[in-house]
Chain A
Amino acid sequence: MKIINLLKIAISAIRRNKLRSFLTMLGIVIGVGAVITMLAIGQGSNESIKSSIASMGTNLINVMPASRNRGGVQQGRTSSQTLKEKDVAYLSKNCTMVTAISPEMNTSGQVVSGSNNWPTSINGGNEEYITIKKYEISSGRFYTAKEIKTAAKVCVLGQTIVDNIFPDGTDPIGQTVRFEKIPFKVIGVFKEKGDNTFGDDQDDVILAPYSTIMKRITRETYLRAIVFSAKSEDKITETSAEIEELLRSSHGLKDAEDNDFEIRTQEELISNFGSISELLVVLLGSISAISLLVGGIGIMNIMYVSVTERTREIGLRLAIGGKGKDILWQFLIEAMLLSVFGGIIGVLLGYLASFIVEHVMNWPVLITESSVVMSFMVCTFIGVFFGWYPARKASALDPIVALRHE
């Protein structure tokens, strides 16, 4: 039988049963659309968690004082006073696997400009701090080594601070703001970074030389932390091992003694939050697997019913000389046309729904080619298989049996 005849037969059969064809297609449209959207949401969140961790710097290493138990009383981290400026000097001289190193100070308080104030916290570091934390200057400049040495009262503001204490749009650069009554001259503004995945506003930040914070605000001689940029993301473990060794010797710890500091890498952060995001992906993955299953069952049912309902038609076609394989081809082509067409609409629907989720609900979405191809193929396969399978059964009947089918 000529393929053109088969196509004609299939198309006229689809046209003859518009509602049923539409319903069949609907199953596929919804199946494909739902899976694409679901996967887009899952992959979008996963990707956004990953990229926001990366935006904090995947090669970031944090060293903090260890919180120690003394007589059963746990002391807060701030009360541990094990990290000092001389550790920074020692590490920057001896550490071979880092590109940047900075002490870190931090304290919270109000920042005030004129009649505007804003509760926030101020961070301090050296001139390398900006690269380690991956901030960028949008106007003005960062503070210099000289300003660090002299504990200059200068600061760089994040956009959130600027928006809140200069609501009238004054250029903050050159202005003086007060933090805990200490006047700071604004010398720069950071480029916006936006929220990180955990909802923290990364632009709610003031940076000043660490020395200024130590000497003028907290009046401490101890550092809150030391931060590093490792040379290579792949060698984070080795790098933290080196830091550990150097710090132990700098602190003169004996072999039996525990570290009086704690090393945190982004890798740990990634693995902590990575497990949350993995959970999310597994969750959404299972939901989309379920919706694919439900969609598949829907397609299966409609295909099965529609072919079974047409057993008489199959009987007639057999009776007037159609061969088994002609019948099979007709149904295969019908199923393929419906599935492929439905699949295409489903993909468009998936894109549309993802777009809505992204722009109306403000969720991060990511449509990957593999999810499109996968859902399209699965639904099409189900459609074709369940169109073909009952047709095969019917075409194997005696024509008269098929004709008598109710």
Chain B
Amino acid sequence: MSNNSIIEIKNLHKNYQVGDEIVRALRGVDLTIDKGEFVAIMGTSGSGKSTLLNILGCLDTASEGDYFLDGKNVKTLKRNELAEIRNTKLGFVFQSYNLLPRTSALENVELPLLYNGAVNSKLRRERAEEALIAVGLKDRMKHLSNQMSGGQQQRVAIARSLVNNPVIILADEATGNLDSRTSFEIMALFQELNEKGITIGFVTHEAEIARFTKRNVVFRDGRLIKDMIVKDRGDAKQSILDLKDDDYNFSS
């Protein structure tokens, strides 16, 4: 175990009972992620990416094996301690956004801070606005979640994961519904956050997106089959600039 590791999982299994059948979504995964890493979790649909991410985000528990978060075995933590960790240390972007319906972007982003007694309403508003500006929704703050496009909702969800200044951000297909330009913008944002020292776990099935991260791990049928460092790491900001020329060129 390296001293620098923030996430360490050992022989992790996750089984789902579906009727008489047992679905083995994770079949013995070992993975260590150090502080400051930017990891893309890849694999085909159904390979267990979301399942792993949910466990890493303390939203779900493993059927077997251990998960050490910042040195602590998550198994030993109580519900309220886990809630505390989710509230202050983790930021989670769901595959399906999970915004509160008929609620403004600002209120959606403020939500995690409402559960943090240390943040007063003024600070809460400021930080929510900052987070929305960071994802490029400065002029959409008062819009209701159901009045926004899929990509905008995605960005509200990202802003919500940023608002509590997390140590780790876990994002499940955060660019799944976005065009390349917006995807690059989001990746630029993640790269920027990663520069600041935030550890990022990022599920994607797009190689084009994965090249902006520092490390790619690939899953198949609940097993980790490939773990590699990204060599020619892309610069998302530069990619946006490159796009400029053929912005309206749909042939590319």
- Are A323 and B98 in contact, with the CB atoms below 8 A? no
A1 to B117 Cα, complex, angstroms: 5
- Are B59 and A321 in contact, with the CB atoms below 8 A? no
Q: Which of these, B101, B115, B117, contacts A317 with CB under 8 Å?
A: B115
Asked if B23 is at the interface (CB within 8 A of a chain A CB), the reply is no
By a CB distance below 8 angstroms, the chain A residues around B164 are: 321
A312 to B117 Cα, complex, angstroms: 23
Instruction: State whether A403 and B98 are in contact (beta carbons under 8 Å apart), knowing that A1-B115, A12-B107 are contacts in the complex.
Output: yes
Q: Which of these, A17, A320, A403, contacts B86 with CB under 8 Å?
A: A320
Q: Mark B86-119, 1 if CB is under 8 A from A, else 0.
A: 1110001010001011110001000110111100
Asked if A313 is at the interface (CB within 8 A of a chain B CB), the reply is yes
Asked if A326 is at the interface (CB within 8 A of a chain B CB), the reply is yes
By a CB distance below 8 angstroms, the chain B residues around A17 are: 102
Asked if B183 is at the interface (CB within 8 A of a chain A CB), the reply is no
- Are B83 and A16 in contact, with the CB atoms below 8 A? no
**A contact residues, range:** 20 to 34
- Are B115 and A322 in contact, with the CB atoms below 8 A? yes
A319 to B80 Cα, complex, angstroms: 12
A8 to B107 Cα, complex, angstroms: 11
- Are A319 and B100 in contact, with the CB atoms below 8 A? no
Asked if B60 is at the interface (CB within 8 A of a chain A CB), the reply is yes
Q: Which of A9, A16, A321, A326 has the most CB of B within 10 A?
A: A321
Which secondary structure dominates where chain A touches chain B? Answer: helix
Instruction: State whether A8 and B61 are in contact (beta carbons under 8 Å apart), knowing that A16-B103, A323-B83 are contacts in the complex.
Output: no
A283 → B minimal CB distance (Å): 47
- Are A398 and B115 in contact, with the CB atoms below 8 A? no
B77 → A minimal CB distance (Å): 13
Q: Mark A28-61, 1 if CB is under 8 A from B, else 0.
A: 0000000000000000000000000000000000
A404 → B minimal CB distance (Å): 10
- Are A9 and B114 in contact, with the CB atoms below 8 A? yes
By a CB distance below 8 angstroms, the chain B residues around A321 are: 83-84, 86-88, 112, 115-116, 164
By a CB distance below 8 angstroms, the chain B residues around A156 are: none
A323 to B117 Cα, complex, angstroms: 12
A364 to B87 Cα, complex, angstroms: 61
By a CB distance below 8 angstroms, the chain A residues around B84 are: 321, 323
Q: Mark A298-330, 1 if CB is under 8 A from B, else 0.
A: 000000000000001101111111111010000
Asked if B223 is at the interface (CB within 8 A of a chain A CB), the reply is no
Asked if A2 is at the interface (CB within 8 A of a chain B CB), the reply is yes
- Are B100 and A16 in contact, with the CB atoms below 8 A? yes
Asked if A5 is at the interface (CB within 8 A of a chain B CB), the reply is yes
Given contacts A320-B112, A399-B59, 5 further A-B contacts (CB under 8 A): A319-B86, A319-B94, A320-B87, A320-B111, A403-B94
**A–B complex contacts, Cβ < 8 Å, 23 sampled:** A8-B114, A16-B103, A312-B98, A316-B98, A316-B100, A319-B57, A319-B92, A319-B94, A320-B86, A320-B87, A320-B92, A320-B160, A321-B84, A321-B86, A321-B115, A321-B116, A321-B164, A322-B83, A322-B87, A323-B80, A398-B60, A399-B60, A400-B60
